[in-house]
Amino acid sequence: MPDRPYTLLSCSVSMDGYIASAASRLLLSNEADFDRVDAVRASCDAILVGATTVRKDNPRLLVRSQARRDERMARGLAPSPMKVTLTGRAELDARADFFTTGETEKLVYCPRSCVGNARARLEPVATVVDGGATLEMRSLSGDLAERGVERLMVEGGGTVHTQFLTADLVDELQLVVAPVFVGDSHAPRFVRDGLFPWNPARRAKLASVRQLGDVVLLRYALSTRFEDD
Ligand SMILES: NC(=O)c1ccc[n+]([C@@H]2O[C@H](COP(=O)([O-])OP(=O)(O)OC[C@H]3O[C@@H](n4cnc5c(N)ncnc54)[C@H](OP(=O)(O)O)[C@@H]3O)[C@@H](O)[C@H]2O)c1
């Protein structure tokens, strides 16, 4: 069994590379793409986002389609995948939709220094996992694999993308480009600064391009584990 889940990073960006506006959430995709993302969610065992995304966007991270939920339950799974977040300071609201919606397991990874605080705030609504002295994405991925997660969907934000990509833990990147500009360098970008395994000397492999209405989906194969449809 692989020591980490098959990891798929899914993100929508503006034409100038931003994933939100500086002040608020930005709906970059269209209905056809939201439905495609819903199908991808339904195919995964866990969905992971950073704490800032939980605070700013208040996402539910559930499978929307009843047919897809039914199909998962027929396979003996929860209607929606497990939800996972990570935090270094546990300033998360137990009433956030991440915690209150869906009959699925919710995990919060944090460094050891904040486990006590996180458990006091969140233990009734989530399982708090001690991530060690420093929370590293490789050990987090290994821990998820031990919990039975074979397919992980990473859904933002930029800080989390950066750590998974720079640690070379992503097998597949699904990047949707929306036909808008944000034009504000204070807005969050797809990734932060970092040393990425793909660069001018080592280009990533573009696996497919698909148009969905006014957005385009670019699928990149980032490892030899990449699963073509
Ligand atoms: N367009 C899209 O597809 C998309 C998708 C998702 C999100 N977004 C946008 O992305 C923005 C947020 O992105 P972001 O980069 O600011 O934040 P983020 O990646 O969502 O979350 C960052 C936070 O996660 C926690 N964290 C991350 N790595 C950690 C580590 N190794 N150890 C401990 N804690 C860790 C920290 O939480 P604490 O601060 O609690 O310590 C950190 O501040 C939002 O504006 C959202 O709208 C866009």
C-beta separation of 85 from 51 below 8 A: yes
d(CA 85, CA 49): 5
Q: With a 6 A CB cut-off, is 112 part of the ligand 1 pocket?
A: no
Q: With a 6 A CB cut-off, is 155 part of the ligand 1 pocket?
A: yes
Of the pLDDT bands very low, low, confident and very high (cuts 50, 70, 90), residue 1 is confident
Q: With a 6 A CB cut-off, is 91 part of the ligand 1 pocket?
A: yes
Q: With a 6 A CB cut-off, is 28 part of the ligand 1 pocket?
A: yes
Find the 150 Cα to ligand 1 centroid distance in Å: 23
List the residue whose alpha carbon is closest to atom 38 of ligand 1. Answer: 87
C-beta separation of 29 from 138 below 8 A: no
d(CA 175, CA 162): 14
pLDDT at 229: 77
Decide: residue 166, CB within 10 A, 0-12 exposed, 13-18 middle, 19+ buried: middle
Q: What is the pLDDT of residues 86-143, one digit of tens each?
A: 999 999 999 999 999 999 999 999 999 999 999 999 999 999 999 999 999 999 999 9
First to last CA, the chain: 22
d(CA 167, CA 165): 5
Of the pLDDT bands very low, low, confident and very high (cuts 50, 70, 90), residue 81 is very high
Residue type present at position 64: R
Q: What is the pLDDT of residues 167-200, one digit of tens each?
A: 999 999 999 999 999 999 999 999 999 999 999 9
Mean pLDDT of the chain: 97
Q: What is the pTM of this model?
A: 0.97
Share of the chain above pLDDT 90, in %: 95
d(CA 121, CA 116): 9
